Each structure stands twice: as C-alpha cells, then as structure tokens.
Amino acid sequence: MSGRDRAGRRAARRASRAAGKGARARWAARRLLHDADGGDRAAREAVAEIARSPLHRLRAVAGEAVAAWWYETRDPEWRAVVVETAGIAVLPPARPASAALAGRLEDIVWEGVGEAGLDRNAAAVRDLLVDEDEDVREAAALFCAQVRGDMVHRLWRSGPDDPVLRRAMFANPAPPDRKAHLRLWGVYLDAGGPVPVDRDPELLAALLRWPVRNEHEAMIGGLWARTREPELRRLVLDLGAVAVAPSERVLTLALLDRLGELRPGSDLGSVGDVLADDDPELRDRMAGFCRTAVGGHLEALWSLESPRRDTPLRRLLLQNPAKPPAATVNLLWRAWLEAPSPELSDALVRWGRPALFPAQASAAEKELESLSVIPLTAAAKVLLRPPVRAALVTALGLGDHPLSQIAERRVTALGDRRLVDEVCAAAAADPALTWVCVKHGLAPEDTATRAVFFLLTGQPEQYRALDPDGGLLSLGYAAADDATRDRIRKAMLAAGELDLVRVVAGDDRRARIAEMTRGEARYLAEQLAARREWERLWALVQDLPIGTGAELVRLFDGWLPRDEDARRVFGMYLETEPAVVAMAARYLDERWPLAVRQATIRFRGRVNDVSFAPDAPLLAVASNQQSAGVIDLREGFLAERYDGFQASVGRVLHVGGGAFVAGERTNRHDRPCRLLRCGDGGPAVLHTVQGSVTSLAATGPDGAFAAGTRSGRLLTGTGADGRVTSRPLTALGMPKGDWARSIAAHPASGRLAVLGRSLVVTGPSGQRCASSAAEHLAVRAGFVGEDVLACAGRSGTVTVLHRQGAALARAARMRVDGLGGIATLPGTGRLAVADRLRRLLFLDAATLAPVWTHRASGGRHATSVHASPAGDLLAVGHDNGETDLFDLRAGRLPSLVGRALAGLVPRDLDAVAASRAVAAAGHPPHVASTVALLHACLEHRFRFDIEIGGALTLTAGDYDIGL
C-alpha cells in the first residue's frame, strides 16, 4: 500500500471519529485540522468532505478552512467546495474574497470593530474588484452597485483615485459624500494638469448625474479662468459655474454674461485685465457692462483708476449716460483742462454737471468750479456772476485749448460792457489775451485806459488815432500801478515817438513826484539826460528824495546851475554818495530820538497847569498863588502876568491870538469859581459856576473851547464874542451827581469826550454819539483820531478805545506804575506817557507798544504831560516845580529823509533845522552830512517862502520863572 493510500485511510478514520462525541472525537478533529493546515492533501480532502456533509458537527469549521485554502492556493477543487458550501474564511484577506465567491459579501462587510474596521472592509472590497477570480470581481462590483448607506461613502473614501473602484461605484445611484465628491471633481479636473491626459468621460457623466455644488462650480470656473480649456468652457456655460477668486470670478461672470452680479467692493479690480483679454467675447461683454453700469458698480469702476489718466476703462465710462460721482466729475474737469479730448468734452457736456467743491475749498478749486460752468451754459445770469466772469477771462488765455474758443464765443455773445473792460484789463497785463481783443475789436470804455491798452497790446495805429498828443496816455500812466507803469515805459520806448517826459511826469510834475518810484525817477532822468535837458533834469533832482537825487546828479555831463545858491546845493549833492544817505536813513530809523530836551523851567511857586499856544512859541501857566502868566519860550522869560483871581488858578488853556482862558478852583464844591479870558485888555469874566473848573480843552479855531465843572456842568464858549453856554451833564445821559474829571476834544471833527464815572462822546452839534461805562476813573484823555480815544486813570491804567457805532470798545490796555501824565501827539499816532521810573515813554496808540523811551535824571517825579497843538513841543511837569521842554520836531527827521522834497512844506524845514544840532552831537558823521544836505535843499527850496534863519528856536538850558 502506498503512502498516499495510508494517509487517506488515516484521514478518513479521523474524520469519522471527529463526527462523534467525547475526548477521542475532539482529539481526532484537532489532528485532522492540524494535518490539513500543514498541507496534507488527504487531510484537506477529508476536511472538504466534512464541509459538504450538512450533518457533520465540524461542517462550519471545515468550510472556513477550505475557504482559506482556496484563497491561498486558488485550487479549483477548493473553489468548488467554497461555491458549494458557501464557506467563508475567518481571517482577511481570505475572508472577504471567499465571501464574495460564496455570494455572501454583504454578510461580512458590516463586521468589524468600530469605524476603523468598517473602513478596512471597504478597502477590502476595493481590492476584490481587481481579484484574479472573475466571480469574486463580479460579486464585488455587484456589491458596489447595490450597497446603500454609510458604506457608499466609505467605499468612495477608500480609493477615489482608483479607476476600477470609480467604475464600480458609477453603477450605484447614491452620490458620494461631500469630501469624496469634491475629490472626484479634483480627480477629473487634475487630469488637465501640467501633463494633460484625457479626462474620464464616465467620471464626468457620473459627476453630472450627481448634484453639482457651488464649491464644484468654483473649481470648474477657477480652472477654466486659469487654463481657458474649451472643455472647461463648456462646463462653465452648462453649469453656470462661477469662480471664487476675484479675478477669476470676473472672468467667469463675463463668460456667463452675468456681470451685474459683480461685487463693487472686491470683484472690480481686474476689470482692466478683462478689457485687455485675448477673448473678444469677454472684452465685448465687459465693455458693454462699463457703458451701462449704474449705482455702486459705476462708482466702483470710476474709482479703479485716476480719472485724469486716459485709459480704455475711462474711454468706456465716458460713454456711460449715468453721471459719475461728484468727486470724479471734479477730477475729470481737471483732466480736461490739462489734456482735452473730444470724448471727455462730450461726456462732461452731456452730463451737464460742473465741478463742485465745499465752501472751504482752495482758490484753485474755486476757479475750476467757475471754469467748468463755461462749457455748460450760455445764460448771461450765470456767466456774469463775478467768479464766472473772472473764469471767462482766465479761459481766454488758455491758447489752443477748446475752453478758450468756448469762452471767446461766450464773451462776444454776451457783449457786456463791464466784462469787456475786464477782458481788456487782463489783456493789457497778459499778452496771451491780446488776440481776442484784436480779433473782435475789444477796447476799454475809459479813453485814458483805452490809450494805455492800445499801446500795451501793440496796436499803434489805434493808439495814434485816439491820443495824438499823448495826453490820454499821461492820465492812464498816472492811474496805473507800478508794474503797469514799467510796461508802459518799455512800450513807449518801443514806439519811439512819444513825449516820454510828459507821459511819466505829467502836466503837474510835482504832484506826481511823491508817488514816483525809484525806477520811474531813473527812467525819467535818463531820458532828460539823453535829450540834454539839464534844467528840467535839475528841477527833477530837486523834487526827488535826497537819496535818489544824490544818485541821479551823476547824470549831468559837466553842466552846472546858473544860480550861486543852486550851485552850492548841486555841489553838496555831488559830494554825497547815495550809499551814505541810505546808511544814514537806516541809522535814523533805528536810533534817532523822537524828542530832544531843550530847556528846564524852574518855577518859583506851585504850577497847577500849563498850555501851549496854538500860534506862537508861548506857554500859558496857572499858579496856585491866584495868578497866571505867559512864558515866551523863544526868549525864556515871563512875558505876561495876570493877578486878581479870587482863587487858585487850576486850569489854563491858551487859545491863540495872545489870549488864554483860565479857570479857578477851590476845595469846596459849593464855593463860586470863575472862568476868565486873559488877553490884551486884562482878565475878563466869561462865566461863574459853583465849584471848581476841572478841565479845559480847545474845540476849534478862533478860541472856541469847552470846560467841565465840579458841579456837573459842561461849558462851551467861542472866542469871537465871549459867550459861554452851560448845560448839565445829565443832558448827555450821564448820571446825576457825576462830573467831568477830564474832557478831550478833536477840533477837526467837532467830537468832545467827557469823562467821569461814565464816558460820553458828543458830536459837532453837542449830541451824544457814543458812551460807555468807565472801566476806571479817568483823569486824563486825548483823541488819537476822530474815533479813537486814549484815557489814563488815576490808578495808572492807560486804555485805548475805538468808537463802534454808539459803543466804545477797548482796543488796547496797559498799566503804568506811577503814572505822571499822558498826552496824545497830533499827527503821529503816538502817545507820550511819563511814569515814576523817570521815564518818558512814546507808545504806539493802536497797540500801546513802546516806540522810544527817554530817561530823565534826578530824584523828581513827573506830574503832568502836555503837547503843543501842532505836536512840535512837549512839556513834562515834575513834583519839584520844574517843567522840562522837549522839541518834538527833530523826531520827524527819519520820515523826512526818505520823502520826496516836492511833498515837503516850510514847517518841515523847522524840523530839519532843529535836527542839525542834534545830529552834530553824538551821532555818526554820515548822519550829520545827510541832515546838512537835506537842510540845504529845503533852505534853497523855500528861500522865497520864508526868511532864512527864521525858524523857531527855543531858549536852551535852565531858567527861572517867578509867578
């Protein structure tokens, strides 16, 4: 017996015993299975028979073993047993394969331990689809086609990139889950990657069979936008697929003709790229969208690029009938002004919207507003508004810009006389505007202005016909500004046949010299020198400021004046360098004193008040010894003395004509006091009042005056008949019981200020015209100007008040410690203030800023400050009875050195004469020489008007006066 037969009988016996019960049966089954697992063929055949035996207790175990042997060996015998017995192996991978062969795949797929086990089974099914056994493959494919629920998604997730699994799953109507679905689209779309392959049509068919989500459409649209593949283009169109990225989204919406869905905020950044795209369909659709966009889309499109740049997008937007935003319109108008184009012009006119800026806009923006109005309307009521009128003139000077031609049509159609004059005035200053005036025969209405206009705009024939003798041009030259005068002079030289001297200097040369510039003076002098008109040139030099004269005197070619005194002045001019005069002028402006102390009067006895005469170098003095007198300041002695007063003389006012008014004062308010006029006939009583006369002020010529009293009355008198009028201060609106501590007058206007605990200003007829509650009790006051009043309080407060209607407003204020007195300096706009620091301050009356300071010596303190009516002299009284006399005339010297001599008067010679001694003492030599030249020029000029050497001189030094 062969070994094979013995093994077969042994296996059969063990199989038989294994069918029984007990330990021997179990031992036999174990040995049989052990031998079969070891590869014993006979044992395996015996096990296979057990698997076929429906009643054998080991049938199930035998089937599982046979299924495992089949998967391992793929033996057809074992395969037949698996098919017959439907046995399934216990362990993978044999288990899913044998289950598929046995038709029981559904039974084992849902087995496992949790999610991981199910995922492994799904992966096993994927492997079965490529098994070598056809029936296994078919069973797996059938399972894929019929499975439902979660396993569908697990199968897709187990291998979406596997074409075999995909094909099997395509037969299943259930769609994959979102993740797998998205991955499948990615598989399909990635086939057209860097190395393109043919895309799977079955995959696409399945994808289109299932619902197409937005995210799938975004993938399709984005890939088409990047690759422009025709197949993807068809998908985009079929699915309406819109990409997500802004630039790709714009492309897909353009392809779908759905540009209205663009988001104004983020999608429109690539509009320019689409307009330049290679696809003509995309370009056309985007262009159409730009031409018709409205609302937020239109605003966003205009914001993509600067409207001032000429781009394809701007050209399309200009065709849009909808108006751009206001800010864009402003920029488009600016762009049109800078670079005009027919398209831009047509759009701006079609929209009919001018530039518009806020109220606080700059001048350039406001001008743009007005310029933009010109092309939009021909209405006269609009074009003749002042800003638009000015814009019309500006537009005419824009050369070949279309706005210039539009403005030309507007100006000629309006025919407005005032506008024509404005155009002509601009053309006279700007040659760029000449053309319109010449073309249309425009000229100023005023004949003198027209003469200048014809000359400056190069129209000599018209000028000669209008002004053959140059008289009109002379008038026009006199009225022109400096820049225009310079252009007129150049034009006259070019014309070559005008009377230059007559035009520049005019018929009344001296009247124009004061306003003639240095350039005009040199021009005129050079023309006279060229004509060798030496007499006229010398007359011109003597009319000009001495600095200019010293410069122009070098033009004389050996000529000398015939008069000996004139030759003396001529020689001084030649000896003086112009630079010396300029240096002296700077020195005078910076360091020249405004007042020079000339004398000190020592009074024997107390002086209550002083007053300068308005017409002579005389000083009226009031004494507490019931007397008053007049001091001759030229000789320095008491010229007149008046006694017989019944009380101390508290106030005195020299009214001129050899007379003064004196007012008595007393310590008792109920005691009578008199107001007297003292003159050639002796003292004469003008009026008697209760209580003291507290103040006096000159109110006009011929001795007119006003006085305040302790009893609250205001007295006014005339010098002609001595009549005095009295009225209560309550008639002026001042409260009952108030009285005038001080009064001030402005004779030129007739204004009178009455200061007590309140302040009232009256007009020429005595009516109240302004009032104010006094900030402090004023004890001194003076008018700086008709409507400007300076007040000094007892506490040392100095205040400047301006009349504003019926009110008095404070313009400046300062405190002066130890205020000793205050006086306004006529004609200078300054105040003189004395303080306890022995200073005499000269202040700017508008701001109270210091201008110049004089410091006195000694231990005395100022008690009063008085200025002469003409502002030539100043008296400062002190507590020791001394009064300092200051000459203010020398202080005018800095303003005289730079002025034209033709504008000076004999009074100015007094100021220069008073300055010569000052200049010689303690000042540089070039100052003294300049003052000497000015003095010589004025002496020569006024030699027939005044007596040379007759100027006012004060007695210098100290002198005693006893009252």
Measuring CA to CA, which residue among 868, 863, 854 is closest to residue 882? Answer: 863
Residue 874 corresponds to which amino acid? L
What's the rounded mean pLDDT across residues 642-656? 93
Q: Each residue of 828-880: pLDDT tens digit?
A: 999 999 988 889 999 999 999 999 999 887 778 888 899 999 999 999 988 88
Give tens-digit pLDDT for 549-592: 999 999 998 899 999 999 999 999 999 999 999 999 999 999 99
Confidence band for 21, pLDDT divided at 50, 70 and 90:
low
Greater confidence, 565 or 515?
A: 565
DSSP state of 340: -
Nearest-5° Cα angle at 784, 778 to 788 = 75
- DSSP assignments along 647-684, one per residue: SEEEEEEEEETTEEEEEEE-S-TTSEEEEEEEETTEEE
Predicted confidence band at 22 (pLDDT cuts at 50, 70, 90)? low
pLDDT (average), residues 917-930:
88
Q: Is 645 in a helix, a strand, or coil?
A: coil
Q: For residue 688, give every residue at least 6 positions away whose Cβ sits within 8 Å of its Cβ, in sequence order, or none.
A: 672, 673, 674, 675
Tokens 């007892």 sit at which residue?
794
Of the candidates 296, 406, 297, 302, the residue with the CA atom closest to the CA atom of residue 349: 406
pLDDT tens for 884-907 read 999 999 999 999 999 999 889 998
In this structure, which long-range contacts are made by residues 188-192, counting pairs with CB atoms below 8 Å and at least 24 apart in sequence?
189/219, 189/220, 189/223, 189/232, 192/223, 192/227, 192/229, 192/231, 192/232
The predicted structure's pLDDT at residue 935: 95
0.85 exceeded by pTM: no
- In this predicted structure, what is the pLDDT of residue 948? 46
pLDDT attached to residue 565: 92
Q: Which residue, among 591, 545, 594, 582, has the nearest Cα to 926 in the 3D structure?
A: 582
Rounded mean pLDDT, 506-517: 69
Instruction: Kindly give the interhelix angle for 3-18 and 23-37, rounded to the nearest 10 degrees.
Output: 140
Q: Which two tokens stand for residue 35?
A: 């031998």
The pLDDT value given to residue 204? 78
Q: What is the pLDDT of residue 264?
A: 84
Whole-angstrom Cα distance, residue 400 to residue 418?
A: 25
Local confidence band at 507 (pLDDT 50, 70, 90 cut-offs): low
Omega cis (within 30) before 93: yes
- Residues 941-945: what's their mean pLDDT? 83
Q: Which strand ranges, in their side-by-side order, compose the sheet holding 768-773?
A: 742-746, 751-755, 758-762, 768-773, 807-815, 797-804, 788-793, 778-785
Residue 950: pLDDT above 50? no
pLDDT of residue 775: 65
The confidence band for 495, taking pLDDT boundaries of 50, 70 and 90, is: low
Q: What are the structure tokens assigned to 236, written together?
A: 């985009």
d(CA 833, CA 798): 9
The pLDDT value given to residue 949: 45
Question: Are residues 455 and 495 in contact, defined by beta-carbon separation less than 8 angstroms?
Answer: yes
Return d(Cα 724, Cα 722) in angstroms, integer: 6
Residues 6+ apart with CB under 8 A from 584: 897, 924, 926, 927, 929, 930, 931
Sign of CA dihedral 417, 421, 427, 430: negative
d(CA 292, CA 315): 13
> Do the Cβ atoms of 158 and 129 come closer than 8 Å?
no
The average pLDDT across 724-752 equals 92
pLDDT of amino acid 199: 76
Which runs of consecutive H residues, i.e. helices, occur in 53-101? 59-73, 76-85, 94-101
Place of tokens 């706009």: 829
What is the edge-to-edge ordering of all strands in the sheet holding 821-825? 821-825, 830-834, 839-844, 850-855
Distance, in Å, from the CA atom of 443 to the CA atom of 437, rounded to the nearest integer, reads 7
CA distances from 910 to 25, 301, 747, 889, 949 (A): 163, 81, 24, 7, 9
The mean pLDDT of 52-76, rounded to a whole number, is 82
**Can you read off the two tokens belonging to residue 652?**
């005195």
pLDDT, tens only, 182-208: 887 877 787 655 545 567 787 777 777
- pLDDT tens digits, one per residue of 263-309: 887 788 888 888 888 899 999 999 999 999 999 999 988 988 888 88
DSSP 503-571: HHH-SSHHHHHTT--HHHHHHHHHHHHHTT-HHHHHHHHHHS-HHHHHHHGGG-SS---SSHHHHHHHH
Letter for the amino acid at 370?
S
For the record, the structure tokens of 377 come out as 């309307």
DSSP-derived 3-state class of residue 497:
coil
pLDDT classification of 705: cutoffs 50, 70, 90: very high
Measured in Å, how far apart are the chain's first and last C-alpha atoms? 188
Q: What is the mean pLDDT of residues 177-182?
A: 78
pLDDT at 195 (0 to 100) = 46
Q: Is the pLDDT of residue 633 over 60?
A: yes
Look over the chain and give the mean of its residue pLDDT values, rounded to a whole number.
Answer: 85
Reading the block at residue 321, the tokens are 């009938």
Question: Which class is domain 599-740?
Answer: mainly beta
d(C-alpha 168, C-alpha 158), whole Å:
13
Has residue 211 got a pLDDT over 70? yes
Contact (Cβ atoms closer than 8 angstroms) between residue 89 and residue 98: yes
473 has a pLDDT exceeding 90: no
CB 606 within 8 A of CB 862: no
Kindly state the tokens that stand for 138: 């078919």
Digit-coded pLDDT (tens) for 232-247: 888 888 888 898 888 8
* Cα distances (Å, whole numbers) of residue 510 to 220, 457, 475, 516, 890: 96, 30, 15, 10, 25
Element (H, E) at 780: strand 778-785
pLDDT at 318: 92
Q: For residues 141 and 150, give the distance between their C-alpha atoms in angstroms, rounded to a whole number.
A: 17
From CA 492, how far away is CA 484, in angstroms rounded? 12
Rounded distance between C-alpha atoms, residue 673 and residue 693, angstroms? 7
669, pLDDT greater than 90? no
Tell whether the model's pLDDT for residue 332 goes beyond 80.
yes
| Positive/negative CA dihedral, 889, 894, 899, 902 | positive
Q: What tokens appear for 819 in the block?
A: 């205020």
For the chain, percent of residues with pLDDT exceeding 70? 91
What φ, ψ does residue 39 adopt, rounded to 5°? 100, 5
Tokens of 823: 């006086």
CA 934/CA 916 separation, integer angstroms? 10
Residues 792-816 pLDDT 10s: 988 889 999 999 988 888 889 999 9
What number is the average pLDDT over the span 4-29?
66
Question: Residue 561: what pLDDT?
Answer: 93
Q: Is the pLDDT of residue 781 over 70?
A: yes
Decide: 729 and 740 in contact? Cβ < 8 Å.
yes
- As a whole number of angstroms, the distance between CA 373 and CA 507 comes to 47
* Boundaries of every domain in the chain: 359-441, 443-507, 599-740
Q: Cα separation of 349 and 372, whole Å?
A: 10
Q: Is the pLDDT of residue 778 over 90?
A: no
Strand runs labelled E in 786-928: 788-793, 797-804, 807-815, 821-825, 830-834, 839-844, 850-855, 862-867, 873-878, 882-887
Predicted confidence at residue 15, as pLDDT, reads 66
Cα–Cα distances in Å, from 439 out to 435, 465, 811? 6, 18, 56
Q: What's the pLDDT tens digit per position in 380-439? A: 999 999 999 999 999 999 999 999 999 999 999 998 999 999 999 888 888 888 999 999
